[in-house]
Amino acid sequence: MQGVIKSYDPVTGDGIVVTDVGLAEYDLAPDAIVGSVFRMLRQGQRVRFELDGDGRATGLNLGSERDMGTPDFQGHAEPAPDGTTA
């Protein structure tokens, strides 16, 4: 699954992630960032994750817009209207 961090307390490790699809909220498992690229999380951080046996988010990894299947707008430009010059 993929979503964004809604909240995170670096002292306790408590946090909530919200899924992109359906906006479901999941508590972070105590080991959610153990062994990941993260040392801490920030609100709005895009992540990929799995659910553990208790329905908590774990195995956090970097998420991306491309993973969501959204269009790649890099290098995209609207055509100039006819008759105008740059």
Read off the CATH number of the domain in which 17 is found: 2.40.50.140
Please check whether residue 58 lies inside any domain of the structure: yes
> 86 lies in a domain?
no
Partners of residue 2 on adjacent β-strands: 48
Q: Could you tell me if residue 28 is inside a domain?
A: yes
Does 15 fall in a domain? Answer: yes
Write down the pLDDT at residue 62: 86
CA within 13 Å, CB half, 52 = 14
Q: How many distinct structural domains can be found in the chain?
A: 1
pLDDT for the residue 83? 56
Q: In a structure prediction context, what are the per-residue pLDDT tens digits for the chain, which is 86 residues long?
A: 899 999 999 889 899 999 988 899 999 999 898 888 888 899 999 999 999 999 999 999 887 766 554 444 444 445 556 655 55
Judge whether 74 lies within some domain.
Answer: no
In this predicted structure, what is the pLDDT of residue 40? 85
On whether residue 80 sits in a domain, the answer given is: no
- pLDDT confidence of residue 73: 41
Q: Could you tell me which residues come within 8 angstroms of residue 3 by beta carbon, excluding any fewer than 6 positions away?
A: 17, 18, 19, 20, 26, 46, 47, 49, 63
**51 and 58 in contact (C-beta within 8 Å)?**
yes
Helix (H, G, I), strand (E, B) or coil at 48: strand
Whether 77 maps to a domain, the answer reads no
Would 47 be classed as within a structural domain? yes
**Tell me, what's the pLDDT at 70?**
44
| Domain with 29 in it | 2-67
Q: Is the pTM of this model over 0.85?
A: no
